């Protein structure tokens, strides 16, 4: 390979393709390192794989087997505990297929796929990761290149471990300098960026985040930033791996009491200083205020000081904001205080590990005493499936990532997006509130 300047995205794809690639080039196939499926897409994918694909395999003289069972994971996270007979049937199908193929399947309540994949060390820096959910780009926080895929791509991926007809995306560099003010969090930063860029401002490109503000963030914060990047049309998002990344990965395997793989960091890549980008966006983090996205778009964001709307539901959860640091700040604000009587506060930790940690540290007790309804880990309210479905006229402030009409239930409901700090402060007052008065 030559030494032409490359972005981290081009480097990761070049490693997988075993030759240098450039943005805009289309590859016949792109080998992937990790793949995970949830109970929304896995059941139809399994049916297609077991029926139509099985016939294709046999005609080719090959048994219908997955490409590598150790590089695939199944998750039941969106509608658990099961909210319907059909969901139960789908989860049962996944369990049978996982047993037959010796695929790791995480059980109901273990957590949201994007959080657990990171917690378990399933994803490592430099990996190409595909998942059957648009927010798979969350894994960019670990220096992985991660994409959401649909059922057809999942079928092909299960069989061959590849994406087909893959076009190498361009990258937009978001250079975030300075530090965030007190009471301003990574969620505020990314909502601010969405407001700058609009719903399609990073369309089909990779959002690459750099700068001292990003380098100072822990993996929780980077996960939030990468998670919401898809809301400006990004194909994926990534933070080049550094000491923070490597320390997190080492801690994962240390907590699991499992040796760190010898090649854990061998695929880690960073952009060259003179790499070519579609454009570079400069951001002064110190100018960012606590921020809220108003109905009905994540890009419809404003500083919280410009919003005073009443709300009747607050949801602290989802793959965007329900990790340890998120629950910590919510508990800090709610400690010794009560949720407004007009507000239903729902708290759903992102994983069983986070739930157990919050229980052991006393955080769940603080939240419960304040008046929160605490549920086991799932995605239910975020996409209007269960455990907090909104009705007509409801006004919800959510720490999730989407607020389109009908996203959390009724199309006549209004959804706002914010950080856990804004959410907790607003739960106390019954209206959207600047959290800094409580910090």
What is the pLDDT, as a whole number, of residue 10?
Answer: 98
Confidence band of 8 (pLDDT split at 50, 70, 90): very high
What is the pLDDT, as a whole number, of residue 329?
Answer: 99
Q: Is the pLDDT of residue 63 over 80?
A: no
Q: Is the pLDDT of residue 55 over 60?
A: yes
Q: Is the pLDDT of residue 2 over 60?
A: no
Residue pLDDT, tens place only, 384-396: 999 999 999 999 9
Q: Kindly give, in sequence order, each residue whose CB lies less than 8 Å from that of residue 390, ignoring residues fewer than 6 positions away.
A: 313, 384, 396, 408, 409, 410, 413, 415
Q: What mean pLDDT value characterizes the chain? A: 97
Residue pLDDT, tens place only, 397-411: 999 999 999 999 999
| pTM across the whole model | 0.97
Residue pLDDT, tens place only, 335-373: 999 999 999 999 999 999 999 999 999 999 999 999 999
Confidence band of 327 (pLDDT split at 50, 70, 90): very high
Q: Is the pLDDT of residue 246 over 90?
A: yes
Smallest CA-to-CA distance from 207 within 271, 291, 302 is with: 271
Residue pLDDT, tens place only, 137-171: 999 999 999 999 999 899 889 999 999 999 999 99
Rounded average pLDDT over 70-88: 96
Structural domains of the chain in order of their starting residue, each with its CATH number? 8-262+275-282 (3.30.499.10), 292-438 (3.30.499.10)
What is the pLDDT, as a whole number, of residue 56?
Answer: 78
């Amino acid at each position: 390979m030559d030494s032409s300047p490359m972005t981290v995205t081009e480097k990761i794809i070049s490693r997988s393709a075993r030759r240098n690639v450039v943005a805009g080039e289309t590859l016949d196939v792109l080998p992937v390192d990790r793949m995970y499926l949830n109970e929304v897409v896995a059941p139809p994918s399994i049916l297609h794989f077991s029926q139509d694909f099985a016939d294709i395999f046999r005609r080719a003289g090959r048994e219908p087997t997955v490409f590598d069972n150790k590089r695939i994971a199944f998750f039941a996270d969106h509608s658990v505990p099961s909210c319907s007979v059909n969901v139960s049937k789908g989860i049962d199908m996944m369990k049978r297929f996982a047993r037959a193929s010796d695929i790791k399947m995480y059980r109901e309540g273990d957590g949201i796929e994007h959080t657990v994949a990171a917690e378990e060390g399933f994803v490592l820096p430099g990996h190409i990761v595909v998942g059957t959910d648009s927010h798979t780009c969350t894994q960019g926080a670990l220096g992985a290149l991660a994409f959401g895929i649909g059922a057809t791509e999942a079928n092909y991926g299960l069989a061959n471990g590849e994406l087909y007809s893959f076009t190498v995306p361009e990258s937009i560099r978001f250079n975030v300098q300075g530090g965030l003010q007190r009471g301003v969090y990574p969620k505020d930063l990314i909502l601010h960026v969405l407001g700058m860029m609009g719903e399609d401002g990073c369309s089909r490109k990779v959002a690459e985040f750099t700068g001292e503000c990003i380098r100072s963030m822990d993996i929780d914060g980077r996960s939030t930033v990468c998670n919401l990047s898809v809301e400006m049309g990004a194909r994926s998002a990534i933070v080049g791996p550094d000491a923070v990344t490597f320390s997190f990965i080492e801690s994962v395997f240390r907590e699991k009491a499992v040796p760190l793989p010898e090649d854990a960091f061998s695929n880690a890549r960073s952009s060259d200083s003179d790499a070519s980008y579609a454009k570079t966006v400069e951001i002064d983090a110190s100018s960012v205020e606590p921020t809220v996205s108003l109905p009905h778009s994540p890009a419809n964001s404003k500083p919280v000081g410009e919003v005073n709307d009443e709300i009747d539901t607050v949801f602290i959860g989802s793959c965007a904001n329900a990790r340890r640091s998120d629950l910590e700040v919510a508990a800090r604000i709610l400690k010794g205080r009560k949720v407004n009587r007009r507000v239903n506060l729902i708290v759903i930790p992102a994983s069983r590990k986070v739930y157990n940690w919050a229980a052991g540290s006393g955080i769940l007790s603080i939240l419960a005493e304040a008046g929160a309804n605490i549920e086991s880990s799932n995605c239910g309210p975020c996409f209007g499936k269960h455990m907090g479905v909104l009705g007509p006229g409801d006004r919800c402030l959510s720490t999730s990532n989407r607020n389109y009409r009908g996203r959390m239930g009724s199309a006549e409901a209004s959804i706002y997006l914010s950080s856990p700090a804004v959410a907790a402060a607003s739960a106390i007052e019954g209206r959207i509130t600047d959290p800094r008065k409580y910090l």
